[in-house]
Structure 1
Amino acid sequence: MQNYESVLRYAMQMELDGHNFYMENKDKFAKTTSKKMFLELADIEMKHYDYLKSLLDTYLETNTIKIDPEMIEKEEDMDIFRDREESEKIEYTLEQSDIPDLTILRMAYLIERDYKEFYENVAQNSEDEEIKEVFTTLAKWEAGHEELFKTEYNRLMKEYMNLPWGG
């Protein structure tokens, strides 16, 4: 069996960095809905961190990875972000912002893409089926985050590029 301690610790740090990024940047948005979205994503990243920490603790005690089926089943999937966008009219709210902060959205998109790619790489290179399942699931979760930010970034960039000169 491969040694997954360093992989799990690195993944934990990535989730903590994501949490910190969302917390540090939530107040840079003009609209409350965008701030709320970043707060929710910060919370989700902390849940990912806690899940990875529990996996690491188990791994250090038993040298095995035990998947928590409840965590896998109850964790958000890509639809939670679509549902939230529809329920809170994120598109409308961001459209009404004075100057959408494209830089923050792009940074968030790139962070989530990097996380997804890291998790996919771990899953593809793992010899352990439980590790493959854990990191494939984490990659899917991060892909949902990536999709949300990429879609918003592209939409806002198109809107921004069509503004008359001088705003």
Structure 2
Amino acid sequence: MSDFKSILEVALSFEKSGREFYKNNMQKVNQSVAKKTFEYLMEMEDSHVKFIEGMIEALEDNKEVDFALQEEAEEIFVERLESQALSNNSYSSDLADLSILRMAYLIERDFVDYYENASKNVEDTSAKKLMVKLMNWEKGHVTLVKDLMEKIYEKNAIDLGFYPF
């Protein structure tokens, strides 16, 4: 389990960094739906931080580790976010948002990749399932950010012949 503890410590660092990214950039994005998305993602990363801290504490205290995750009540919030229209911000304002959203997208993709690799490197079946569950949560975050970026691309008729995802 010491390898698993190391995996969790790295995951904890990632999740804390993600939480801080959303906290620091929430006021920098101009689209109100982007602000709400960042607030939501900050809260989700915070719940991941608390969960992982509890897992590490249990491992350190030689307690039985509860691998069960609480389900994120994500569906309703995500549907509400996806149904919101974009503000009539300027083109340059939307481009600035895209820059920050792209960073968020990359952060979430890194989380997905980390949890996917971690799931392959742990032997305990419960720990493996936990890593896959965390990976799937982060995949939902990737989709949320990607969809918002696509909305901004469409709003501004930005068609460069490729999308960076």
1:109 maps to what in 2? 105
Distance 1:162 1:36, change over 3 A: closer
1:51 maps to what in 2? 51
Q: Using the TM superposition, give the Cα deviation of residue 108 of structure 1 relative to its aligned residue in structure 2, in angstroms.
A: 0.6
1:18 maps to what in 2? 18
Matched, 1:75 2:72: yes
Root-mean-square deviation (CA, aligned residues, Å) is 2.1
Q: Which moved more, 1:9-18 or 1:146-155?
A: 146-155
Q: Using the TM superposition, give the Cα deviation of residue 32 of structure 1 relative to its aligned residue in structure 2, in angstroms.
A: 3.2
Q: Using the TM superposition, give the Cα deviation of residue 80 of structure 1 relative to its aligned residue in structure 2, in angstroms.
A: 4.4
Q: Contact 1:59 / 1:65 at 8 angstroms: preserved in 2?
A: yes
Q: Contact 1:81 / 1:145 at 8 angstroms: preserved in 2?
A: no
For the residue of structure 2 that corresponds to 1:82, the secondary structure is helix
Distance 1:37 1:48, change over 3 A: same
**What 5-or-longer segments of structure 1 have no aligned partner?**
none
TM-score by length of 1: 0.82
Q: Contact 1:2 / 1:127 at 8 angstroms: preserved in 2?
A: no
**What 5-or-longer segments of structure 2 have no aligned partner?**
160-165
For the residue of structure 1 that corresponds to 2:67, the secondary structure is coil
Q: Distance in 2 between matches of 1:76 and 1:123?
A: 23
Distance 1:9 1:162, change over 3 A: closer
1:160 maps to what in 2? 156
Matched, 1:118 2:111: no
Q: Distance in 2 between matches of 1:76 and 1:113?
A: 21
Q: Distance in 2 between matches of 1:17 and 1:31?
A: 23
TM-score by length of 2: 0.83
Q: Distance in 2 between matches of 1:82 and 1:42?
A: 14
2:137 maps to what in 1? 141
Matched, 1:97 2:94: no
Q: Using the TM superposition, give the Cα deviation of residue 2 of structure 1 relative to its aligned residue in structure 2, in angstroms.
A: 5.5
